[in-house]
Structure 1
């Protein structure tokens, strides 16, 4: 077993403990066996099985901040926080799949698509979220930072739901209106829908657990000033790879174009075909390319996706992305270099580790 596989297996071992703990509490409330079994199936189907990057990064970050391997109790508690984030992710995904009428998730039917589940999945998503606060109460109620953890999870959930709303009303799959799209709108969606819970939340949890007090607001603000741009960079990478990577490399077929996604790629194309953008093209050429985008983006008919990709190639989106990547990575590295390392404070390695995992990734 590789070191990475061993780390994952150890983290997954904690899931089994907290799952049984949650089910034990649920059964202890006098719930019927049928409901207990339903809850168990909900947890097992929706919580483990993903990449677990968010959850495992809590443990990794705590180890970096403490500068040593964790003892058994420290590891368990850090992993509980990690699984709280995985529960949050599961809550979002179960609900998101219903809103998007999605078919599959993690190579299996979406939970709500199971004939026995249907719209009960709405309540199941609520129960996944509620499990977070049950675990926090059980394992952290006696800690000085307990209220900070509650506040952090509530605030991050609210921020993510804000981003989800903006995304849903900007890019409904069945109603294409590119006039609603812009890089500014994309930035808002990405920061709120993805960056807060995927990048800031795991590190902030680790910081609280490592006794960096929330009253040191400047430390948390500095972490956020790195992690939010990092999260945006990660999502822009995803958007670019959806268009540029082959299915063999990506591991899936990119669908952002046919699904009318408010992607960085289409927003960049819209900017380059606007009056002030794409200086190397004539006004007529830009109007022509914009017309192709308006007529083909978000359409399911054969050949429409290829026409959009032709415009992307003509506009040199690949080169634009490469320039963006180098610029944003340079800015993030500069922010990381500004960290003053002191005992019990932030460590540059936390952020260098995140950046190292995503810089120039291919899938």
Structure 2
């Protein structure tokens, strides 16, 4: 199926606007400093908390674009439902992420891989990986209920992507990454801290508890040194290799060569990424 370029352009635009809306507000909630090598929008002089309203404007313009360009299409209602559902899922993921780092209730004991997966699945995987493919399927006249297997692969790919992000937040050069990682300072339920908790001795656990979630550079340095002692770089590389093999196997087992090609292109773009 060949779609009119204007429809493809509009669909891409609303997905970018949805992401921009999430990121503008996420940077405020995380008190981040940079985003893609530039100051976060709320840190730009004369913007400040006006950024909150800017985010709301981005979000509300999405449905104006969908209505203008897709209203007469047979899949319009399903497309609107998809965007609404993905937005709700992402907001739920953000909520879980925020309440696990709530000041005054910091407790590393509640962090685990299932909690991390839940946050990542809702906060990142649905809008970053599932949404683009789901839009294409709807525009091709497909019923999304018939492609649950594709959804599951994309969610797993999104989780792998976020584990990469957690790793890069700590180990990547900020100049290359385009942002300054703050997962340690922000007490995030990062894949790294969960794996550290699994591998720590009693003494190492005490070091982690004493320093994780504190903004002082000396505390952050102690956590990073502990991560190196635990060889979390090696643990991540093993995880990355196994994840790639597993995802490739699932993709190649799909009956549709066209869907295989799309999923393989997604995986190729993120495998061993550096930013």
Q: TM-score, normalised by structure 1?
A: 0.70
Q: Gapped runs of 5+ residues in structure 1? A: 1-65, 274-285
Give the corresponding residue for 1:212. Answer: 142
**CA pair 350-141 structure 1, distance change in 2 beyond 3 A:** same
**Which is further off, 102-111 or 304-313?**
102-111
Q: Deviations over 1:217-241 (max 9, x none)?
A: 232x011111000000011011112
SS of 1:361's partner is coil
Contact 1:241 1:362 in 2 (8 A): yes
Give the corresponding residue for 1:324. Answer: 239
SS of 1:142's partner is coil
Q: Deviations over 1:29-76 (max 9, x none)?
A: xxxxxxxxxxxxxxxxxxxxxxxxxxxxxxxxxxxxx4xxx5xx6222
TM-aligned CA deviation for residue 90 of structure 1: 1.6
In structure 2, C-alpha distance between the alignment counterparts of 1:87 and 1:329, rounded to whole Å: 29
Contact 2:36 2:179 in 1 (8 A): no
In structure 2, C-alpha distance between the alignment counterparts of 1:302 and 1:223, rounded to whole Å: 43
In structure 2, C-alpha distance between the alignment counterparts of 1:95 and 1:169, rounded to whole Å: 16
Q: Gapped runs of 5+ residues in structure 2? A: none
Give the corresponding residue for 1:356. Answer: 268
In structure 1, C-alpha distance between the alignment counterparts of 2:172 and 2:23, rounded to whole Å: 24
Q: TM-score, normalised by structure 2?
A: 0.91
Give the corresponding residue for 1:272. Answer: 199
TM-aligned CA deviation for residue 121 of structure 1: 3.3
Give the corresponding residue for 2:129. Answer: 199
Give the corresponding residue for 1:243. Answer: 170
In structure 2, C-alpha distance between the alignment counterparts of 1:247 and 1:174, rounded to whole Å: 29
Contact 1:78 1:209 in 2 (8 A): no
How many residue pairs end up in the alignment?
Answer: 275
Structure with larger RCO (C-alpha < 8 A, sep 6+): 2
Give the corresponding residue for 1:38. Answer: none
Query: Any residues of structure 2 matched to 1:44-123 within 5 Å, and which?
Result: 66=1, 74-114=4-44, 116-123=46-53
In structure 2, C-alpha distance between the alignment counterparts of 1:202 and 1:78, rounded to whole Å: 11
SS of 2:189's partner is coil
In structure 2, C-alpha distance between the alignment counterparts of 1:109 and 1:327, rounded to whole Å: 36
RMSD over equivalenced CA pairs, Å: 2.2
Give the corresponding residue for 1:21. Answer: none
